[in-house]
Amino acid sequence: MKPGEVRILVLRSAGTNCDAETASAIAELGARAEVVHVNRFIRGRRSLEEFHGMVLPGGFSYGDRIRSGAVLAKLLSHRLRRELQRFVDEGRPILGICNGFQVLVESGLLPFGEVGQVKLALAKNASARFEARWVYLLKCSATPFTGKLPRVSRMPVANAEGRVVFPPGEEQSLLEELEESSQIVLRYCTREGEPARGDYPANPCGSFADIAGLASPEGTILGMMPHPERAFYRYMYPDWTRDSALGMGDGCAIFEGMLEHILKSQG
């Protein structure tokens, strides 16, 4: 299989607003990105089987009614449950960015890849406000998505509900389980790669254990609050003129890793 034969779904719904730039990033790497509304799958006009991978982009799906990502997550976990679980069980990669991360958590796809089994939540930021800023990220484990990512990367966040929280009384046990299975993929850190330790603004959302990105046990599902599509090119960075840097940004590695995984798994 060649990159041009790879088909990646960018799933949108009412309120999604990062689908175009996400599709553009995928297309820049030579793959075929198609933006499709979730209703076309629910009505049976399209099938997830048409695609080798899926991206749930950022935005405010269904206006973030109830909770961020909750409505779209329930549509997926109830109306497309069997098809979605088959997609996961076949090892086809799924990337959830910001609102997409929230959808993955609300649907149960993270942290254990089981549709309908919700184990944690993304709550309102500890700062009680919308956080839009560039952050440093420490790579804690390599997955198909993060294998090409440097140890310390830099990408922007833009969310009001990005605080990862665990069920009361289960924080330590769940944290140990996720760490042992290398599912905590990205953590907020300082410029030097030191732990943020919950300090603001290094950890802008107040996430438990500085968690910025989680993966499924197999690593084929990744949810992350930072936006890799907004750090795809170096000129997107706020300080790019200081060194006249050109070329690709850190976010490109996420999409490159996804594409390479698909090419290898498809032979």
How many whole angstroms separate alpha carbon 47 and alpha carbon 29? 24
| Prior bond of 201 cis (ω within 30°) | yes
Name the catalytic one among 98, 140, 189, 205. 98
Across 18-141, the runs of DSSP E, i.e. the strands, are: 32-37, 53-56, 94-97, 121-123, 131-139
Both tokens of 153, joined, read 């990367």
Catalytic annotation on 78? Answer: no
Name the catalytic one among 106, 131, 161, 229. 229
Catalytic annotation on 189? Answer: no
Q: What is the CA radius of gyration of the chain?
A: 17
| Prior bond of 156 cis (ω within 30°) | no
Catalytic annotation on 18? Answer: no
Name the catalytic one among 140, 205, 227, 261. 227
Short-list 88, 177, 190, CA closest to 137? 190
Lay out the sheet containing 7-12: strands in order across. Answer: 32-37, 7-12, 53-56, 94-97, 221-224, 211-215, 184-189, 131-139, 152-159
Which amino acids are annotated catalytic? Answer: 98, 227, 229
